[in-house]
Structure 1
Amino acid sequence: MTGIDDGFDEMKALRSELRAIAAIGGLVLLAGFCGVGWLADWGQAWLWLFVAAMLGAYAWRTAWLLLSLNRRRPQTALYPSVGWGNRVTLCRGGLIALAGGFFATDLGADFNVWAAAFCYSLAALLDRYDGFLARRCQHESLLGSELDIRFDALGLVIAPLLAIAEGRLHASYLLLSMAFYGYRWGLQRRQRRGLTHFSPPDNPLRRTLAGFQMGFIAVVLWPVLPEDFTRTAGIAFMWPVLFGFIADWLVVCGVLSRDNYDHLAAIAEQYILPGLRLVVAILAAAGLPPLADTALQIGLGGVLAAMVLFGLAGRLAALGLLLWLGAVNAPIADSLLGTLWLFAASALLLLGTGRASLWHCGDAWLQRYDGV
C-alpha cells in the first residue's frame, strides 16, 4: 500500500537527511563568521552570524514542516530521499540567509557589499538548475515546487532590503516584496471563511517575471551601475509584476472572469506592447535618453532601438539598451520623457515585444523547463 499514511520509514530517513543538511549549514555559518571577522570586523561578524543563523533556521524549518510534500503527487508515496533538486533549493535558501546576514553589517564597507551580492547572485543563478536536476533525476516533487516559491519570495524580501540600505533601490520596491505574502494571506483568509475563490488562469509569464526580478536584484546588488539609474529601473521593473498580482487576485475573487483576463492579455499583445516598441524607437531617435557621446556609441544605441522597433530579438535589444545606458551613466531619469523611455524598455524586456515582431529570440528559452 502506498499513500500518505504509510511513509514512516521514508519520513524518518528524510528527517535524518535534513538534520545532516542542518549540520553542514552550521559549518558554513561558522566559516562565514570567521571570514567576515577576519576580512571585515569581529563585532560585525557576530551580528552577521545572528541574522544569517535566524534566516537559515527559518529556511530549514520551512523544509522540515513541508517534508510530507516530498512526493510527486498527493496520492503517491514519499520519496526516500530529499533528492538533488531539493538539495540545491535548500542551498539556495542557505545562500539567501548568508546574504541577509550582511544587512546587520556596515554596508558602506566594500567586502560586505560584494559578499552579499555574490551570495544572492549565486542563489539566483541556481534557481535555473534545481528544477533541471529534479526532472533529470526523476525526482519532481510538491516539496520542491513549494520550497522554490517560498525561497524566491524570501529572496525578494532580503535582497531588496539590502539594495535599499545601500541606496540602490527605492523603498517602494518593497510593495512587490509584500505582494506575494499579501496574496497568499488573502487566499488563505478566503479559504478559512468559506468564501468563493477561483484558481488563477495559467500564465507562463509568472515564472518568467519572477526570474527577471531575481536577475535584476542580483545585478543591482553589485555596485557597478549608477544608483540613480537602478532606483528608477527598480520602479519600472516592479509595476508589471504588481499588475499581474492584482489581475490574478481579481480572478481569484471572481471580480474578473477568465475570458476578460484573456482579453486583457490579448490587448497587451496586440496593441500595448507594439505601442511601447514605437515609444522606445521615437524617443531614442529624438535623443531621449542620450545614447552617449561618440558616434560609435550613438550608432550602437540606434541599432538596438531599431531592433526593438521591429521586434528583432526585441527582448535582448531592450536588455542591451538598458545595460548600455546604465553603463555609460546616461541621465535617463532626469526628465519625464527619459523616465517614460525607461519604463517602456523595461516592460518590453519583461513582457515581450508583442505582435508583428520579426524574431522572438529568447522567449522559448525563458519559458522552457530545463530537463523536461
Structure 2
Amino acid sequence: MSDSPEPILRKLNRELNRLSLFAVAGFLIGFAGLAVAGGWCAAGVWLAQAGAGLWLIRQTARRRLALNRLNPRTPLYRNLGWGNRLTLLRGALIAATGGCLFSDPTAPANPWLPALCYTLAALLDRYDGYAARRSGRVSLLGAELDLHFDALGLLIAPLLAVQWQRLPTGYLLLSLAFYLYRWLLQARVRRGLPTFPLPDNPLRRTLAGFQMGFVALTLWPVLEPAFSRQVSTAFMLPVLFGFVADWLVANGRCTARTYTQIGELADRTALPGLRIGLILALTLAGGFERTEAAGLSVALAWSASILLAVGCAGRLGALAILLLFGGGWLSVAQPALGLAILFAASWLLLLGTGRYSLSRWGEAWLQRYVGA
C-alpha cells in the first residue's frame, strides 16, 4: 500500500529545508568574498537582499509541494528529484542576482556577480526539464516553479539593468505583464466568469528564452548601453503583443481558430516582408560604416544579410547583425535606417524568417524540449 500524502509531504519539506541550508551556506561564502572585495557594508546589503529572495523562493516551493506528482491523479513522488533541484538552484541564482539591486555598478564585484548568476540561471532553464525527463520525475511542481522563477528572473534582472542604465524603464512593462495577466485571470475566476484554454504555441517558450538571454547579455559589460536600450524595445513588443493575444483568447474575445489564423498570416506575409524590408534598409543605407573592425565585419554583415534574404539559418543571420552592431563593430550613417535594421533583425531573430525560407535551420532545436 502506498504511503499517505502527509508523511511524504513532511519528507519533501525536510529535503527542501536541507537544500535551503546549502543555499544559505553558499550565500554566506558569497558574503565573505564580497566583504573582502568591496567592504562589509555592501556585502551585508547584498546578503540581506539575496536572503529575502531566497526566503521567497523557498516559500514558493513549500506552498506547492503537494504538486510534486505527474498529474493530480497520481501519487506524490518521494523526493524532489533532480529536475526540481535544478529549478530550485535556478531560483537561488535569481535571488543572488537580486542581492545586487540598488548597488553601485562600479563596485569591484559588479557587474560580474549578477551577470554570472543570471546567465547560469538562464542556461539551467533549458536543462532542469531535461533532468526531470531523464530521471522520470516530470511533475506539476516543476512546471509551476519553472513558470514562477522565469517571471521572477525577468523582473529582478531587468530591474537591475534599468538601475544600471543598460535598459530603459519601459522594459519593465514586460516584467509586469506576466503578473498582470495572472491577476486578470484570477479576477475572472473570482467573479465567476469563464476562462478559455490557450492554443498550443511553441513561440511562447522561444520568446521567453530569448528574453532571458537578452537580459543576461545586458548585464555583462559587452554591449553599448545605447544599443541595448534601443534593441530592448524591439525585443519587448512581440512578447507584449503575445500577452494581449493570449488574454483575448482567455477571456473569450478571440477564438483559438482566429488566434491560429493570425499566426499563420504573420508567418506567410509579415515575416517574409520583414526580410525584404531589412535588405531594403541595408541597401538604402549605402553600406556600413566601419568603426573598430575592418573588412571582416563588413563581410560578416553582408553574409548574414544573404542568409536572411534567402531564409537559410535566418535567425543566425539576424543574431550576427545584432552582435556586429551591438559590439560597436559596424554602424550606418542614417539613424532612422539604423533603427529600422535593428528592429527588423530583432524580430526575425525572435520570430523566425517565415514562409518562403530555403531552410529553417535551428527552429526545431529552439522549440524542442531537451531530452524529449
Partner of 1:302: 302
Q: What is aligned with 2:253?
A: 255
2: CA distance, partners of 1:141 / 1:164? 35
Corresponding position of 1:191 = 189
CA distance in 2, matches of 1:190, 1:358: 45
Q: Which amino acid aligns with 1:209?
A: L
Q: Secondary structure at the match of 1:128?
A: coil
Shift of 1:110: 4.4
Q: Which residue does 1:42 correspond to in 2?
A: 40
TM-score of the superposition, structure 2-length normalised? 0.96
Counterpart-to-counterpart distance in 2, 1:244 and 1:291: 35
1:103 deviation in Å?
Answer: 1.0
**How do 1:279-290 residues align onto structure 2 when only pairs under 5 Å count?**
279-287=277-285, 290=288
Query: Quick one: distance in 2 between partners of 1:87 and 1:148?
Result: 11
Alignment of 1:203-242 (within 5 A): 203-242=201-240
Match of residue 136 from structure 1 = 134
Q: Report the secondary structure of 2:100's partner residue.
A: helix
Name the Cα RMSD after superposition. 1.6
2:52 pairs, out of 51, 54, 69, with: 54
Are 2:62 and 1:64 aligned? yes
In 2, are the aligned partners of 1:289 and 1:338 still within 8 Å (CA)? Answer: no
TM-score by length of 1: 0.96
User: Shift of residue 173 of structure 1?
Assistant: 0.5
Matching of residue 336 in structure 1 with residue 336 in structure 2: yes
Q: Per-residue deviation at 1:336?
A: 2.3
| Deviation of 1:53 (Å) | 0.4
Q: Distance in 2 between matches of 1:297 and 1:214?
A: 27
Higher helix residue share? 1
Q: Look up the equivalent residue of 2:81 and give its one-letter code.
A: G
- Alignment correspondent of 1:244: 242
Deviation at 1:329, TM superposition (A): 4.9
Tell me what 1:119 maps to.
Answer: 117
2: CA distance between counterparts of 1:297 and 1:92?
36
Output the CA distance in 2 between the equivalents of 1:41 and 1:242.
41
Match of 2:94 in 1: 96
Rate the CA distance shift 1:38–1:334 in 2: closer, same or farther, 3 A: farther
What CA distance in whole angstroms lies between the structure 1 residues aligned with 2:43 and 2:309? Answer: 50
1:232 touches 1:333 (CA, 8 Å); kept in 2? no
- 8 Å contact from structure 2 (residues 16, 62) kept in 1: yes
Q: Distance in 1 between matches of 2:8 and 2:70?
A: 14
Q: Distance in 2 between matches of 1:29 and 1:125?
A: 20
SS at match of 2:185: helix
Distance 1:334 1:158 in 2: 35
Q: Which residue in the other structure is 1:326 paired with? A: 326
Partner-residue secondary structure (3-state), 1:95: helix
Q: CA deviation at 1:340?
A: 1.7
- Contact between 1:311 and 1:356, CA under 8 Å: does it hold in 2? yes
After TM superposition, the structure 1 stretch with the greater mean CA deviation from structure 2, 305-314 or 278-287, is: 278-287
**Separation of aligned partners in 2, 1:333 and 1:196:** 53
Pick from 5, 8, 26: which aligns with 2:6?
A: 8
Structure 1 unaligned spans of 5+ = none
Q: Do residues 277 (structure 1) and 265 (structure 2) align?
A: no
The alignment-based identity, stated in percent, is 49
Report deviation, 1:291: 5.4
The 1:289/1:152 distance shift into structure 2, 3 A limit, reads: farther
User: Do the aligned partners of residues 305 and 97 (structure 1) sit closer, same or farther apart at CA in structure 2, a change above 3 Å counting?
Assistant: same
Flag the 1:27–1:279 CA change in 2: closer, same or farther, 3 A. same
Question: Residues 163 and 332 from structure 1, CA distance in 2 versus in 1: closer, same or farther, beyond 3 angstroms?
Answer: farther
Moved over 6 A (4+): none
* Structure 2 CA distance for partners of 1:256 and 1:332, relative to 1, 3 Å: farther
Counterpart of 1:317? 317
- Which letter maps to 1:351? L
Q: Are the counterparts in 1 of residues 211 and 235 from structure 2 also a CA contact under 8 Å?
A: yes
**Amino acid of the residue matched to residue 177 of structure 1?**
S
Shift of 1:324: 1.4
1:371 alignment partner, SS class = coil
5+ unaligned residues in a row in structure 2: which ranges?
none
Displacement of 1:109:
2.0
> Residues 315 and 168 (structure 1 numbering): CA distance in 2 closer, same or farther, change over 3 Å?
same
Classify 1:290/1:37 alpha carbon distance in 2 versus 1 (closer, same or farther; 3 Å).
same
Contact 2:87 2:145 (C-alpha < 8 Å) held by counterparts: yes
Q: Is the 8 A contact 1:37 1:44 kept in 2?
A: yes
Preserved CA contact (<8 Å) 1:226 1:329: no
Counterpart-to-counterpart distance in 1, 2:148 and 2:64: 11
- 1:357 aligned residue: 357
Query: Is this contact kept in 1: 2:318–2:348, CA < 8 A?
Result: yes
Match of 1:178 in 2: 176
Tell me which amino acid in the other structure corresponds to 1:105. Answer: S
Contact 1:332/1:339, CA 8 A, preserved across alignment:
no
Instruction: Give 1:346's aligned amino acid.
Output: S
Distance 1:120 1:289, change over 3 A: farther
CA distance in 2, matches of 1:281, 1:177: 32
- How far 1:263 sits from its partner (Å)? 1.3
Q: Which residue of 2 aligns with 1:166?
A: 164
What's 2:153 paired with?
Answer: 155
